[in-house]
Amino acid sequence: MTELRIRAAGPEDLDAVLTFWKVAAEGTSISDDRDGVERLVDRDPEALILAERGDALAGTVIAGFDGWRCHLYRLAVHPDHRRQGIGAALLAAAEERFVRLGGRRGDAMVLQRNERAQHAWRAAGYVPEEHWRRWVKPLAD
């Protein structure tokens, strides 16, 4: 099997990432477009982490740190590459980044209906906090 490579995404990767999420990610967000992801990479060039196997994009995670909290988004592994340790490798890279930046706790947003993802997060040592509820308000049409 080809070696797994973990690296930060660059501007040249963004179209491939957006296409990848349509296949590998569950659900979409208001910022899942070229402008939103471009702003992320411009603001924090190490936040979007990619896993590649050969020439193929195999997985992604966004490891956002605002100086106070560590947030994980878009942990996604291509269906053809699941159950091969790619999600664990991405989370390890994200957690190492957080520790390096002084973060103390990572949190992830996981769709309630996405049981596969819930299992993966639990296996990685994360637990749900049922007493919290996310509140959102779109800021643009």
Q: What is the domain partition of the chain in residue ranges?
A: 4-123
H/E run at residue 77: strand 70-77
User: What is the tens place of the pLDDT at every residue in 80-113?
Assistant: 999 999 999 999 999 999 999 999 999 998 888 8
Encode 94-110: b = buried (16+ Cβ within 10 Å), e = exposed.
bbebbeeeebeebebeb
pLDDT at 9: 97
pLDDT at 77: 94
Q: Which two tokens stand for residue 64?
A: 């956002």
| Partners of 82 in beta bridges | none
- Rounded to whole angstroms, the Cα distance separating 122 from 108 reads 11
Encode 19-54: b = buried (16+ Cβ within 10 Å), e = exposed.
ebbeebbeeeeeebeeeebeebbeeeebbbbbbbbe
User: What is the tens place of the pLDDT at every residue in 19-73?
Assistant: 999 989 876 676 778 898 999 999 999 999 999 999 899 999 999 999 999 999 9
pLDDT at 27: 63
pTM for the model stands at: 0.91
Say which CATH class 4-123 falls into: alpha beta
* Nearest residue to 77 via CA among 89, 65, 63: 89
